[in-house]
Amino acid sequence: MPAPRHLEAPAPPAEERLVCFWLGSQLYGAPIRFIRETVKLRPITRVFHTPSFVCGLASLRGEILAVLDVAVLLGLSPTPLDFDTHILIVEVGGKRAGVLADRLSEVRNVAPGAIAPPPPTLSPDVAAILRGVVALQEAPLGVIDLERIFASEELRRYERKGAS
């Protein structure tokens, strides 16, 4: 006989799957639920009068996507556009864009409790786009908050300019 509903233990939160990648010498991850695919670097057309973190536009099977350099948002050097560079095709809230990565790493499962808040030593602008940090044996893993990036006022201003 099954236990009454009020006596059932709540299900433990599921592990989060993160697509991991390197920006410079630092390891980052983004929730796999937002990543549609990863592709090798393709030609990017620079667009003038856009925020510094918008590299330009790229075509993916006929779809034109803005390509973002999250490294710039994190206060790092711009991502080099070379043989190892990949573009993560991201979809958040019905909006799609590419996100540059110096090189890809593996997909990792992270327990919800393993994501600690961003360290207080980070600038508020950088901390605002990180959900937190996971302590790994080989390197700390910064968990990028793609929803905050896509909802940022700076990106919304760019969208409005592009729409007008």
What percentage of the chain's residues is helix, strand, coil (to nearest 5)? 20, 40, 35
Question: Smallest Cα–Cα separation from 132: which of 110, 68, 141, 124?
Answer: 141
Q: How far apart are CA 37 and CA 56, in angstroms?
A: 19
Question: Smallest Cα–Cα separation from 92: which of 74, 66, 118?
Answer: 66
Q: 125-146, pLDDT tens digit by residue?
A: 899 999 999 999 888 999 999 9
pLDDT at 4: 57
Architecture per CATH, domain 17-104+116-163, reads as Beta Barrel (2.40)
Position 152 confidence tier, pLDDT thresholds 50, 70, 90: confident
Delimit the domains of the chain by residue range: 17-104+116-163
Average the pLDDT over each of 1-5, 26-30, 50-54 and give the range with the smallest value: 1-5
Q: 69-105, pLDDT tens digit by residue?
A: 999 999 999 999 999 999 999 999 999 999 999 999 9
